[in-house]
Copies of this chain bind each other. A is one copy, B any other.
Amino acid sequence: MINLEQIQEISLSTPSKIVLLVFDGLGGLPLPQTGKTELETARTPHLDELVGKGMCGLSEPVSIGITPGSAPGHLGLFGYDPLKFVIGRGVLEAVGINFPIKPGDIAARGNFCTVDKKGLITDRRAGRLATRKNARLCKLLAQIKLDGAQVFVQTVKEHRFAVVLRGEGLNEALSDTDPQRDGVAPLEVRAHIPQAARSAAIVNSFISQARHLLAEHHPANMITLRGFSHLPSIPSMPQIYKLKPAAIATYPMYRGLAKLVGMDILPTGSSAEQQFNTLTRYYKKYDFFFIHIKGADSAGEDGDFQRKVRVFEEVDAHLPQIIDLQPDVIAVTGDHSTPAVLKSHSWHPVPLLIYSKWCRPDGLSKFSEAACARGGLGHLPATAIMPLAMAHALKLAKYGA
């Protein structure tokens, strides 16, 4: 498979436009009663029309048999091999709340927890405290002064928060403090390598000050930290593809991921109609649009088969708004499967549809898992979607003489 440096050498800036429509958790499994998946159950005449003119296939987000998290799932769609570009839990947490993390920062995921008088954990989630209370405690922790680093502490939700350290020469090779079980004390941070020793001391100083500040705030009277990580070095989409890319996403994590790879984040309402209105409004200013539809995944996670069906039908009803703009390429796919019958992300490959006037049609007529399995694009890694979209938009020069 071609690598990003090789793509960069042949990518061309042209006026043609690409719309990448991502249904989070698109793929599904059949209901035993009907033998049809969510997508196969949905009435999607506009998607089916694109299938008739375009090509289908099945995308492997990470690797055959592997269930992707949201970050690897999306990195693959943007063309970054998720087995090579790894985003640590801490960075993802910071990115997810739109914290402006910088190269050199180290980030960790934090939990408020409850400890007893001996310092042993009795509740790793501090009774899932109210997000409002979390916010007050984060303000308290943000006042901590450290020798050699500035600290940012920001609320995520309930017991969860993000910590970011900023300073010279910080190193993220640090162990977790969360022992992952009750009845034991939170662990000290240890440096995995000698160069991280100073960073370990800084984090341990933060934790000991936090313990002091939180002493009177039972049940949130202690913290654990895990997933220390730094911003990975990722070449941006404008750099690799010479695109001017924009994201139309409503959930902070996807906006954060899109920003990480160099997209502009467009202001938008949260319904499909509002997201497509945003596309129309900004259509002239960009040549690549990532539209993220969250509803399919949420319905799948909730095990709500019919709600997932309705998400597809609702988006399909508004699809003409995209089609009428006549983008050179429309790619429709997902970051992973979320079958309602499994109530979770899954490893099943994901339907993919590429529409452009340069497609070699494959004679299919319905956007579905079954049709995609027989599609002209075959089975392909998710990282091939960007090269395919670029090719069909005539944005890739010939490779080699």
Contacts and interface: CB of A to CB of B under 8 A. Distances in A.
Interface in A1-32: 1-3, 6, 10, 27, 29-30
B379 A370 contact: no
Interface stretch (A264-272, A285-293, A313-321, A340-348): A340-348
A125 interface: no
A247 B270 CA distance: 54
A181 interface: no
Number of copies: 2
Contacts of A386: 65
A374 B371 CA distance: 12
Contact of A65 (B67, B347, B379, B390): B390
Nearest to A1: B63
Which of A65, A363, A391, A397 has most B Cβ within 10 Å? Answer: A65
B68 A358 contact: no
A72 B6 CA distance: 13
A104 to B, nearest CB: 21
A interface, over-half SS? loop
Contacts of A66: 2, 10, 387, 391, 396, 399
Interface in A173-210: none
Nearest to A89: B401
Interface residues of A, number: 61
A130 to B, nearest CB: 24
Contacts of A363: 370
B399 A67 contact: yes
16 contacts: A2-B62, A3-B83, A6-B83, A27-B360, A64-B380, A64-B384, A65-B387, A65-B390, A66-B391, A67-B396, A69-B398, A70-B401, A82-B399, A346-B358, A362-B373, A373-B376
Interface of A: 1-3, 6, 10, 27, 29-30, 35, 37, 58, 62-72, 82-83, 86-89, 92, 227, 342, 345-348, 358, 360-363, 369-370, 373-374, 376, 378-380, 384, 386-391, 396-401
Given A67-B399, A88-B401, 6 more contacts: A3-B83, A6-B83, A30-B360, A65-B389, A70-B401, A227-B401
